[in-house]
Amino acid sequence: MGEEIKKKKIEHMKPIILSEDGLENFKKTNKIWRVCDVYGSQRAELAKIKSGVGDEPPGHWIYYPWSGELIHILAENDYFFLRTNRNRNLITEAEQKKLYDFPVAMVGLSVGNSIALSLAYGGFSGTMKLSDRDNLETGNLNRIRAGVSNVNIPKVELTARQIYEINPYADLHLFSDGLNNGNVAGFVAGDPKPKLIFEEIDDFKMKIKIRLTARGVGVPVIMLTNLGDSILVDVERYDLDKNTKVFNGKVEEKIINEILNGSIGLEEEKKYAVQIVGRENLSQRIIESLPEIGKTLAGRPQLGGTVAACGGLAAYLARKIALGELLPSGRKLLRFDLW
């Protein structure tokens, strides 16, 4: 029974794609709060940039169960062509197709929300796996693109809605309970197998397990860490070299084993966070904030502007890997205060 309810909930997270044929019957049996027909204006836009736009099939009607909106848009190929037109010729048509066919997985949907939406807006990764077990909290609204009406909605559901509203034809695979020992292998290596994982979670054990699993099956991992007015980028190219060390060897094997085998409390988390990121990369304000986490601070301080910049940077890094351009394993610190 529980699985049935869960299945229905997941289905409720997807838009329903309709043709003209079944539209009238659908309207009679579903709550529709708003009808929006942009098909004509999209066709007019398309005709300006594409020759041979004639009497083609009348697109699709998209129904969003969470908002009750019914929207008439172009069919998938024309919609994609029109929506990504302003990427050209910065991205060629052939490159755009490669990028769209490049499946990506996202673990952690605070920073990961910005990354996922940046990829979706760019017409990248039509197939995505999304994982997060938390609901949106008011304290997330300094950096997650959402409104107060979205508070208490699961982050995975919120992100899926946002992606579907950009690309209703997206293929999303949702892990609404987060990752655990029982599903991490399926997330990393199961169908559809991602060609890149963005890891943006606070769970240190799972950070390591994701990397060990990804290394075993040759999937690269990227982590973007927000450090006030800086972004720390860690790239681990397990697809190029399965001997690449976890965290590029920045964390000693002894500490990794300690994390995997120990019971980690809040104080240990703070200690490991500093060791993974490197004290030399932390500003004085961040260091002074650490003792306040769990007291006057709900979590590690992060700035919305830095998170937004992460989204753009992540799309660039994904493009490099998807198109086979040079992006070696390693760590780089991007500091805004060097402006």
Read off the pTM.
0.93
Residue 114 or residue 12, greater confidence: 114
pLDDT of residue 39 exceeding 50 = yes
- Per-residue pLDDT at 253: 86
Q: Please, which pLDDT band fits residue 9 given cuts at 50, 70 and 90? A: low
Burial (Cβ within 10 Å: 0-12, 13-18, ≥19) of residue 264: middle
* CA angle, residues 300, 306, 312, in degrees to nearest 5: 130
Domain boundary assignment for the chain: 2-83, 93-338
* Contact between residue 155 and residue 135 where contact means Cβ atoms under 8 Å apart: yes
Pairing of the two strands 60-64 and 16-18? antiparallel
For 268-272, the CB contacts below 8 A with 24+ separation are 269/202, 269/204, 272/204
Average pLDDT across the chain, whole number: 92
Q: Give the CATH number of domain 93-338.
A: 3.40.50.720
Cα separations (Å) of 194 from 31, 44, 126? Answer: 36, 36, 11
Joined together, the tokens standing for residue 77 give 């190929």
CA distance 107 to 122: 19
Q: Please, which pLDDT band fits residue 10 given cuts at 50, 70 and 90? A: low
- Per-residue pLDDT at 262: 79
pLDDT one-digit tens code per residue, 128-146: 999 999 999 999 999 999 9
